[in-house]
Chains A and B, each alone.
Chain A
């Protein structure tokens, strides 16, 4: 694995515009950066990323099964009592799921270490699955990369397969009288909006009628069914909105009896929770791809050297608190204060030319499917980190 300079395509911004990639620059700062790229060997991809991802995914699903049978574990993960039946039933019914992302620390030497799971509302999807693929194809086409260059990226293809499977199972068609698959996100965020629009595009390619609806546009009817702006019952809905937030909303009381099939399903509330990391470690302590981790008995107490404190529900690196082995501390501000936390052994991201890279390894339905690299000037990957493409050579 190495970081290498790359000549940006002279027309990449035009390509981005044509492909609907609107958030390549965020608040004036570049988010998509193709002036460099990461190079992997096929062995590194297959042995160090793909296989461990597949294996860890299996361990995670085993754990979901265990948690759903244990009041004590649901309690430890802070799943609200009012919604435990919803979560359990959704798992027992094996409600389908679409995607998840594991974040790894990996430098090409030694095993990749799992930082966390983003299994409910992962983003960086469009740039991983499509725009990165596009970059690769064009770089090979323009002979900037050799013809045998490859990329670990079946993400879009696999996503379309999942939507096709869902459409068959639901017996829906693209006929006008067939129900529409509803896609929803918080409307203000360009990045979230783009991610949802991308998934809507793929569902459309799989033969669904699709419809976008801002999250606050969801309504309810007299029977407690969720409705869209056309006053149709929402029968299937992709929501880029965390379950733990939905559980606190006014309409949460309608979830239990709702006929809506949600993606991701309620059982993902278990895996989007960082409390899953100490549970994994308890069950598989010493696993080469896991970092030692435990529940934090006192989230307001001092942090021992060599440990990282992460809130259960933090996203985009917010409220992560690091104390390095030498006692150097780093605190990321954020809105997730006051809740339960976990402690994870300090294992810094590898530095390449002074940049810290994290590997986002995608799981589509139940298959390890591809990766995306993001890098930051600091040890914590945040929503302002840059996405950089990768190549297998």
Chain B
């Protein structure tokens, strides 16, 4: 058979559709791989980034999992993801910090029609303390995060690939080249 067996349309069909316009974006864990990534997020100030990064780093030094052998560390965190360190003359291996959390971003409330009102805020206490995050071998495939002992971090999902809010300085810079033509396809 040279043609598809079944096809369907979801958005284009005339049947009533569930309205998706009023679904609001939920809270989001702010996680970054690097400081500069944090700096580029307009929701977070550079000072908040610096503070969170420093807290995560000292937490990392204090509490990252310690392994007696490089192999044991790499088995969980992947090749080249572990460093040798010493504590009071004893050598051990710890995973490298792969990211850090700044806090939890709470978007402004939205009304029924999707318009937002009020302010956004970032919660940095309790469960949303700044902390170091790690990637195990499988995390690299899924984009997830783990805690220092190599266990999956519950905040992973919403924190990895998320929408980025910003504010626009202007609009309308595309489409001006030649408005004489009605359509552009061919």
Contact = CB atoms under 8 A, between A and B. Distances in A.
Q: Which of B25, B26, B160, B164 has the most CB of A within 10 A?
A: B164
Nearest to A124: B185
Contacts of A173: 161
Contacts of A231: 165-168
Contact of B163 (A152, A177, A210): A177
Interface string A160-186: 000000000011110111111000011
Interface of A: 17-20, 42, 45, 118, 121-124, 130, 133-134, 136, 150-157, 170-173, 175-180, 185-186, 188-189, 191-192, 195, 197-198, 200-201, 204-205, 210, 215-223, 225, 227, 231-233, 235, 240-242, 245-246, 248-251, 254, 315-316, 335, 370, 383, 392
Given A178-B162, A245-B177, A205 B10 contact: yes
A390 B184 CA distance: 26
A123 B186 contact: yes
Nearest to A172: B161
Chain A interface, DSSP helix/strand/loop, else mixed: mixed
26 contacts: A121-B186, A133-B7, A153-B3, A171-B161, A175-B158, A176-B25, A191-B185, A192-B184, A197-B11, A204-B11, A215-B175, A216-B171, A217-B172, A221-B42, A221-B167, A222-B169, A232-B163, A235-B164, A246-B177, A250-B173, A250-B174, A250-B176, A316-B186, A335-B178, A383-B183, A383-B186
Contacts of B28: 177
A195 B2 contact: no
A157 B178 CA distance: 35
Given A133-B3, A223-B40, A176 B176 contact: no
A241 B181 contact: no
Contacts of A204: 10-11
Nearest to B183: A189
B3 A154 contact: yes
Interface size class of B (residues with CB under 8 A): 35 or more
Q: Which of B1, B158, B171 has the most CB of A within 10 A?
A: B171
B170 interface: yes
Given A20-B12, A249-B177, A121 B161 contact: no
Given A122-B185, A204-B10, A251 B2 contact: no
B179 to A, nearest CB: 8
A294 B181 CA distance: 28
B13 interface: yes
A41 to B, nearest CB: 12
